[in-house]
Amino acid sequence: MTSDEITAEVNGLKNLLSQTDYKSIRTVEQFFLLFDGGITFTKLLTGVTDLIADLTEGFRERQGWRDRINELEAMVPDDEGEQPAEAVAE
pTM: 0.67
For residue 12, pLDDT beyond 70: yes
Residue range 16-48, pLDDT digits in tens: 999 888 888 888 888 888 878 788 888 888 888
Q: What percentage of the chain carries pLDDT values higher than 90?
A: 32
CB count within 10 Å of CB 69 equals 21
Distant-in-sequence contacts of 48-57, Cβ < 8 A, 24+ apart: 51/27, 54/27, 55/24, 55/27, 55/28
Q: What percentage of the chain carries pLDDT values higher than 70?
A: 86
Phi, psi of 87 (to 5 degrees): -135, 155
CB count within 10 Å of CB 39 equals 11
Q: Residues 6 or more apart from 7 whose CB is under 8 A from it?
A: 76
Where is average pLDDT lowest: 29-33, 35-39, 64-68, 80-84? 80-84
What pLDDT shows up at residue 73? 93
Strand ranges (E), 1-90: none
